């Protein structure tokens, strides 16, 4: 996910995510971090414009593809959007099956533009 720092520089981080229609959900989980108050969250609060890129590389180039979602994000500390994020992430990632859920806020991206490419 790419966010914009207050000085205008990009900030890129890998994320776990789930997609529901034109909405992408991500969350702050229990992996070791200095704090659950992450730079990406601060950036989104200051400037909600984000991009999310997902790609698949393969030595067989006919299997290579990428997609990018541009949109506006919000940081959800509680409520239905955070609950939906937890529901979707738990369904997608077996690491959450043990009851471990994101400990912090959810990031909800409302996608305004999808772009992509594939070799074939």
- Tally of structural domains, the chain: 1
Range of the domain at 78: 2-114
Q: Is the pTM of this model over 0.75?
A: yes
pLDDT of residue 3: 98
pLDDT digits (tens, 9 = 90+) for 40-97: 999 999 999 999 999 999 999 999 999 999 999 999 999 999 999 989 998 998 877 7
Secondary structure element (H or E) that encloses residue 92, with its range: helix 80-92
pLDDT grade for 120, boundaries at 50, 70 and 90: confident
| Residue 119 within any structural domain of the chain | no
| Residue 66 within any structural domain of the chain | yes
Arithmetic mean of pLDDT, 22-42: 79
| Residue 120 within any structural domain of the chain | no
| Residue 97 within any structural domain of the chain | yes
DSSP string across the chain: -EEE-TTS-EEE-----EEETTEEEEE--SSS-S-SS-HHHHHHHH--EEEEEEEE--SSGGG-EEEEEEEEEEEESSSHHHHHHHHHHHHH-GGGTTS----S-EEEEEEEEEEEEE--
| Residue 23 within any structural domain of the chain | yes
| Residue 27 within any structural domain of the chain | yes
| Residue 21 within any structural domain of the chain | yes
The CATH number assigned to the domain holding 97 equals 2.30.110.10
pLDDT of residue 103: 63
């Amino acid at each position: 996910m790419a966010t914009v720092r207050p000085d205008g520089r990009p900030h890129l981080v890998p994320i776990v995510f789930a997609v529901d229609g034109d909405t992408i959900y991500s969350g702050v989980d229990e992996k070791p971090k200095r704090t659950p108050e992450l730079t990406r969250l601060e950036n989104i609060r200051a400037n909600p414009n984000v991009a999310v890129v997902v790609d698949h590389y393969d030595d067989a180039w006919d299997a290579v593809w990428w997609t990018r979602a541009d949109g506006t994000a919000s940081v959800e500390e509680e409520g239905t959007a955070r609950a939906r994020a937890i529901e979707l992430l738990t369904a997608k990632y077996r690491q959450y099956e043990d009851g471990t859920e994101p400990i912090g806020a959810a990031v909800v991206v409302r996608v305004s533009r999808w772009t992509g490419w594939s070799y074939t």
